[in-house]
Amino acid sequence: VTLRSASVSSQFSLNSKNILGGGKFGEVHTCTEKETGLKLAAKVIRKQGAKDKEMVLLEIDVMNQLNHHNLIQLYDAIETPREIILFMEFVEGGELFERIIDDDYHLTEVDCMVFVRQICEGIRFMHHMGVLHLDLKPENILCVTATGHMVKIIDFGLARRLSGLSPFLGDDDTETLNNVLAANWYFDEETFESVSNEAKDFVSNLIIKDKSARMSADQCLQHPWLNNLAEKAKRSNRRLKSQVLLKKYVMRRRWKKNFIGVCAANRFRKITSSGSLTALGI
């Protein structure tokens, strides 16, 4: 796929009302290729700064190398005067994180193994291609269907952030950040009580500051936790206690996100109504 200048509407019909998600640079919509009827996800990136196009070209370059069933595929890329639109393979199952915090979803440790195996397969392929994701987080793992177990990794931009419920979690953001920087972590006894030692060993071997001592994706796939899944599934399908904690965490995060959004909208309304658009650089 190479970025080309064209009009979107001649080839695709973008469903502007159906927003799948939004990020710093734009939104992701569902869309259909007119000639084939193929349903796709269109990531619309507004060209705001001088570096924006450069960043998207890098994302395209990376995605062109990632031909693997656990990595979302790039289908086409179009540039218009104001935007760049990436057309990607569409998956309809939503974010894995949303699925596993659903009260009706009975999350077991074997489910986790099935999901983590696929993430490792995708990451191993990326690493073999000399590419690092650098933004792996629960929002960037999507389910292919609403009930099936297949997942795919998305978002190959280069943003670096912190996020997710993790063994580094402190009482507040500063403490969490300090824990990450110092590589301090722990397994909360009560939450992890029903989790196997193999799982704890797996995680312990990933949270190592020294990269050379940390497990590679290849080693992850050979780890006992990610093997003999059929056998393990027969032995136990106990629901994980941490599901409740995850849900609480997601609710808090969602509330924060909405709160920040509302504050920003109010601020914008105030500025525009007072006529001081120069404050916004307009």
**Angle, CA 118 vertex, CA 91 and CA 163 arms, to 5°:** 80
Q: Taking CB under 6 A as the rule, does residue 43 contact ligand ATP? A: yes
- Amino acid letter for position 19: I
Q: Which residues contact 82 (CB under 8 A, 6 or more apart)?
A: 46, 47
User: Residues 91 to 110: which contact ligand ATP by CB under 6 A?
Assistant: 91, 95
Q: Taking CB under 6 A as the rule, does residue 242 contact ligand ATP? A: no
Q: Taking CB under 6 A as the rule, does residue 154 contact ligand ATP? A: yes
CB of 188 to ligand ATP, least distance (A): 27
Q: Taking CB under 6 A as the rule, does residue 120 contact ligand ATP? A: no
Asked about 135 being catalytic, the answer comes back as: yes
The sheet carrying 83-89 orders its strands as 4-5, 74-79, 83-89, 39-46, 26-33, 12-22
Q: Taking CB under 6 A as the rule, does residue 159 contact ligand ATP? A: yes
- Amino acid letter for position 158: L
- Which residue among 29, 77, 85, 157 contacts ligand ATP (CB under 6 A)? 157
Q: Taking CB under 6 A as the rule, does residue 111 contact ligand ATP? A: no
Total binding residues toward ligand ATP, as defined by CB under 6 A: 21
Pairwise CA distance, residues 280 & 282, whole Å: 5
Structure tokens at 246: 């995850």
- Which residue among 88, 107, 119, 246 contacts ligand ATP (CB under 6 A)? 88
Pairwise CA distance, residues 57 & 206, whole Å: 31
Report which of 220, 56, 71 is spatially closest to residue 131, judged by C-alpha positions: 71
Q: Taking CB under 6 A as the rule, does residue 28 contact ligand ATP? A: yes
CB of 223 to ligand ATP, least distance (A): 28
Pairwise CA distance, residues 207 & 167, whole Å: 9
* Residue in 52, 61, 102, 135 annotated catalytic: 135
24 labelled binding-site residue: no
- Which residue among 155, 192, 199, 232 contacts ligand ATP (CB under 6 A)? 155
Instruction: Please identify every residue annotated as catalytic.
Output: 135
Binding positions for ATP: 47
